[in-house]
Chains A and B, each alone.
Chain A
Amino acid sequence: MTHGILIYAHNTRAVDYALMAVISAGLAKKHLSMPVSLVTDDSTISWMKQSQTFDIANTVFENIITVDRPVTDNQRRLNDGETSSTVPFINVNRDSAWSLTPYDRTLLIDSDFLIFSDVLNKYWHTDCDLLIGESINDINSQDRMKYLDRHISDTGVKLYWATTIMFTKNQNTRLFFDTVNHVKENYRHYADVFRFDHRQFRNDIAFSVSKHILDGYVESNLGTLPPILSALDRDILYSVDNRRLTFLIDHKLDNNYCAASISGVDIHIMNKQSIIRNQQQLLELI
């Protein structure tokens, strides 16, 4: 059985997802010792060539899989510390991972998830076809996590985090990814049924609803990856010094910052621009 990691990257005018994918892939490859493949589109590849990241990408990725650039008017509010802007967000083709992955068992990660440990290597051989991030652990404290960080809506089901997903390519997981696609295609309907906000498509919600449906409309403790240590997009990755990452944490979400640092643990950095600002130091780590 072949094992490998898959990352999606579709650049927008605001965020260089391809560069983030290169960093994320390089770190994942280094710490998990697994091959990594990229799913991207022609325009993103053109930018990679223009911005000199394509050569690095060719050394980091085992495969670069080109797909049509998804058409979406999805937008999101993205913070960068104290500032914020509304930016386009291309995330609507994650359900194609089942058919695109070149591996028998795949770890699907977001491009803003940086791996600094081998913790996820423990899950390659578990007797579970599909595993998904159980929750997020705030880098500061769980006090900043609100109800809607744990549930898809006020009365809805538990929110899982599609930042990390591991699956074996078989008929069970095909059904799962088909269900994700079905939820995506009928997002307004499921928003009515599950009472979530339909205005922005979220993979986390589509995956959570699909898991809930296929688990028989009950909560299940089965099929979860460890909680995802996360720095919010209001936090700032301040510096990268060897393997130590130092953040400025907006610990009360009131624009008053304190410092925190981590070393040797996997981290989901929601502030994409601060990854980009530290690209040089992060690329030196891969």
Chain B
Amino acid sequence: MNFGYLLIVSHSDTVDYLQLAYGLALSIKNTQKPGYDKVALVIDDKEKVEQLKSPWVFDHIISWDEQTFWNGRSWMDQLSPFEHTVCLDVDMLFTRDYSHWIDYFVENCDLYVANKVYTYRGDVATNRNYRKTFDANQLPDLYSMWTFFRKDATITKDFFDLGRYIIQYPVEFTNIFLTAYKPKIMGTDEAFALAAQILDIADDIAYPLEFPRVVHMKPLLQNWPWPADTWSDHVGFYLNKHGRLKIGNYQQNDIVHYVEKNKIDRELIHILEEIAWKR
């Protein structure tokens, strides 16, 4: 089986996305079984990777600077060096072995996009504040931060071709298809959901499953009784020396999409590096 995780980063003046991708890649190496721990990095400045202490966590480094951010991520099917790929947002951490999820998707799917997220307590997130475009326009509830695809599948090509086209022409697609509530930005979530709806494949690529389980730390998703601007004002983020992560009083066992980019600092990277070096 030729499977791997794909991370796509580009330069930003405010956030060191390479460091976030490095943290995620370390956590993948630290938790996944051999054969399920391959990581490919797409980056616009390949030389920066050489400055990392353990650049070997990236099995493939692909230099590519034709697009940035969402535009770049919509090219995931063409950029991936793997036959089967999960493309991830980089502000995530793995906390245990998820290879059994991958076995299911490789066996059963050509394309699957996460379609529900969880709070740090393990409950399904129910707040719809960030999903007004999806609800008003009856789009499938896709979260592109965890996207599985088989590279040579027809559905994969159709889906990403259209997704790219939507991101390329956001105003036109918004004015035709998203009139009930227009998104401020046509991100990959919106573009992928609209592509799935136009192609009428939502039931094929986002049917209900108990996995992948991704804890989404956008503050309003936490099912708290009040609105919050930043989740870290209210609960702590603790990574112990064994790489076990707690948020508040909850041990995290799912993929954690921590959202607040400053959570990955030198200290946390050092903990992850030490674990990786000792493996």
Chain A residues with CB under 8 Å of chain B are 146-147, 154-158, 193-195, 212, 216-219
- B224 contacts A154, C-beta separation under 8 Å: yes
Asked if B122 is at the interface (CB within 8 A of a chain A CB), the reply is yes
Please determine whether A155 and B235 come into contact, CB atoms closer than 8 angstroms: yes
Specify which of B123, B226, B253 is in contact with A154 (CB 8 Å cutoff): B226
A194 to B123, CA, bound (A): 18
Given A154-B225, A155-B224, 10 more pairs with CB closer than 8 A: A147-B225, A155-B234, A155-B235, A157-B249, A218-B122, A218-B250, A218-B251, A218-B253, A219-B122, A219-B250
Indicate if B246 sits at the interface (CB-CB under 8 A). Answer: yes
Interface band, chain B: 10 to 19
Q: Which of A146, A154, A156 contacts B249 (CB 8 A)?
A: A156
Q: Which residue of B lies closest to A194 (CB)?
A: B249
- B253: chain A residues at CB < 8 Å are 218
- Contact flags (1/0) for B213-229 with A, using CB distance below 8 Å? 00000000000111000
A146 — nearest CB in chain B belongs to which residue? B225
28 pairs, A vs B, C-beta closer than 8 Å: A146-B225, A147-B225, A154-B224, A154-B225, A154-B226, A154-B234, A155-B224, A155-B235, A155-B248, A157-B121, A157-B249, A157-B250, A158-B121, A193-B249, A194-B249, A195-B248, A216-B251, A217-B246, A217-B249, A217-B250, A217-B251, A218-B122, A218-B250, A218-B251, A218-B253, A219-B122, A219-B123, A219-B250
* Residues of chain A lying within 8 A (CB to CB) of residue B249: 156-157, 193-194, 212, 217
> Closest CB of chain A to B64's CB: distance in Å?
39
- Taking the closest CB of chain B, its distance from the CB of A155, in whole angstroms, is 5
* Shortest distance from the beta carbon of A134 to any chain B beta carbon, whole Å: 14
Residue of B nearest to A209 (CB): B249
Separation of A78 and B190 alpha carbons in the complex (Å): 52
Q: Which of A146, A147, A194, A218 has the most CB of B within 10 A?
A: A218
Among A147, A155, A195, A218, find the residue whose CB has the most chain B CB atoms closer than 10 A.
A155
Closest chain A residue to B251 by CB distance? A217
Task: For the complex, give the distance between the alpha carbons of A185 and B240 in Å.
Answer: 26
User: B246 and A219: CB pair below 8 A?
Assistant: no
A79 to B196, CA, bound (A): 56
- For A158, give the chain B residue with the smallest CB separation: B121
Interface flags, B98-123, vs A, CB<8A=1, else 0: 00000000000000000000000111
